[in-house]
Structure formats: structure tokens, C-alpha cells
Amino acid sequence: MISFDPNKLIRETSVGILNEKNLSIKAEKIQCFAQQCRLDTFDMIHLRGNGHWGGSASVADILATFYFHVMNIDPANPKWDDRDKLILSKGHGAPMLYQILAHRGYFDVKELATFRQLNSRLQGHPCMNKLPGIEMSTGALGHGLSIGLGMALAARVQQKKNWTFVIVGDGCLNEGQSWEAIMAAAKFRPERLVFMVDYNKVQLDGPSDEIMPLDPLPEKFKAFNLNVADKVYDGHSVTEIMESWEWMQKNQTAPMVVIYKTHKGKGVSFMEDQSKWHGAPIDQTSWTLGREELVSTLEKLKA
């Protein structure tokens, strides 16, 4: 039976990360925490027999960095008017989002054991009406950018200074609605709106380059008159993700695009960059072998 040890991890995240002032040490702690979340998510999906591992693993470091370093939020008051907002447009990454939200204090970590059970608040895709910390119910790919744009425009009307972050994947950018939102963002130009691309280049049915090529992606966003970071950041390096936040703060007067190079199924060598592991059940053999790799990496990070 898989068991969670939430108390130890909660102490580490709340005290060891949130209160850490040294950015170099904080980056190391977030990196370790993100890997722990990968391991726990891997166990959770295997135990339940379903769930999306590939896209959850690719976004772990990005989510951990933003919830534990970047965002101005209050888990005790999840509807706080002035909070920063993050929309996971690629809603199939919900297992990882649940891990991050639980350890950030939005709900009891023990509830993670109810993932995808009947009547659980932790559904296959995130539901804003059931779980605190979820800004928008997502899953139908491509909606997140439009919703985020609306939130940023509302903040402007209300004269608020909060940030709106939208994490999209390859599948999101295959949708026409995404590019309509990008055109509208370029026209209305709300402040502190960031489109963040979890660019693992794999989706449900295969490699994105075979299904619907997106490259040259930075140039596409620039052609739509958005402010695009000149660097494609390593989405598995907390240090680089922190660096991307520094860039955002310097360019916050107009909508921004930041592209993160990631790997679907990050952390398990035989699952990485393989469309099979977008949402396939993790069988016993794959779990045993994959878990060994995830634990080994975690131990090296802790050393």
C-alpha cells in the first residue's frame, strides 16, 4: 500500500521554502520539493489506476516555483480580491496542481488520497466550484488564454495590480480560440498578463511536430505583436524559472509570452517524450521501475 507522509513535507514547504531569503538556497529547496511532488503524483496516479502523468510531470517545476516563490496569494483566503491568479489551461495536468495546492495549504494533504474517486473534489480535471485555489475549470483545451485575458482586463478596470498567469501546452495552441485570444491580448494590451508555454512538444496522439507543428513558436507570438522573452527557458530548472520571473517584472506593462522547454513524463527515462504516457494507466512494472528513478533523483537533490 502506498502511503503519504504529509506532515514532514508540509513543514519543509512552509518553513523551509516560504521563509527562505537566500534565493540560491530557495531554488534548491523548490527543486527538491518539485521532485517530491513528481514522486507523490506518480504514486497517486498508479494507485488510482488512471490520471495524466505525462503533462503533470512536465509542469511540476513551473507550478512549484510560481506557488512558492512568485505568486501573491493567501490559501486561508482563496477568494482574496487582490490575489495573483494562475489558470492551468492544460487541465489534464491537474494531478500536479492538486499536489502543489495541497502543500501550499489550500486543503488537507490527506485529501490527495481521494483523487478521482466518486464524489471527490479532486476530479480528473480541475473544478473551480469544488476545490479552493482553482481559478477556472479547465480541460477543454484552448480556453485558458481567453479566460486569462478577461481576468487581466477586469483587473485593469478595477484598478488592481495583481498578476494573471496562464499555463498552456501544445494542445492548447492547436486550438483556434487560443490565437483569437492572442490577437485580442495584442489589441487591448492589459498589464501583468503572462502566457506561459509548457513546451514539451508531445500531445495525446503523438509528437506535436507530426500532428500540428508550432515552430517557430517564439516568432509566431512576436508576429502577433506580443512581448516574447528572447530566451526559451529550461522549464525543469527552478533557477531559470526564477530568472523568467525577473524578466516578467521588467516587462509587465504589456501582455507577455514565456516559453519553457520541458519533457513530457519528466523524471522517468522510458516515459519521457512518449505520447503513450500522456494519460495511460501506470502498470505495476512501469511503476516499480519508474519509481526507482524518481527516488534516485530525489535522493541526489537532497544530498
Give the pLDDT score at 2.
Answer: 42
The residue assigned the cell 505520447 is 275
User: Residue 206 — left, alpha, or beta (φ > 0 → left; ψ -120 to 50 → alpha)?
Assistant: left
Give the pLDDT score at 303.
Answer: 84
Euclidean distance between CA atoms 275 and 283, whole angstroms? 16
Give the pLDDT score at 16.
Answer: 79
Cell of 141: 483545451
Identify the CA nearest to 200 among candidates 255, 126, 271, 134. Answer: 271
Give the pLDDT score at 298.
Answer: 94
Give the pLDDT score at 34.
Answer: 95
CATH dotted code for 6-302: 3.40.50.970
Give the pLDDT score at 294.
Answer: 97
Give the pLDDT score at 120.
Answer: 96
Q: Are strands 193-199 and 256-261 parallel, antiparallel or unpaired?
A: parallel
In terms of Cβ atoms closer than 10 Å to its own Cβ (0-12, 13-18, 19+), residue 18 is middle
| C-alpha torsion angle, residues 280, 96, 48, 5 (rounded to 10) | 140
Identify the CA nearest to 193 among candidates 282, 253, 135, 141. Answer: 253
H helical segments located in the chain: 6-11, 23-48, 54-58, 60-65, 94-104, 143-157, 170-173, 176-188, 208-211, 217-223, 238-250, 284-302
Please list the rounded mean pLDDT of every run of 10 residues in the chain (303 residues).
49 74 95 94 95 97 98 97 98 96 93 94 96 95 96 98 97 96 98 98 94 96 97 98 98 98 98 96 97 96 89
Give the pLDDT score at 4.
Answer: 46
Give the pLDDT score at 3.
Answer: 46
Sign of CA dihedral 245, 136, 266, 103: positive
Q: Could you tell me which residues are beta bridge partners of residue 233? A: 260
Give the pLDDT score at 105.
Answer: 93
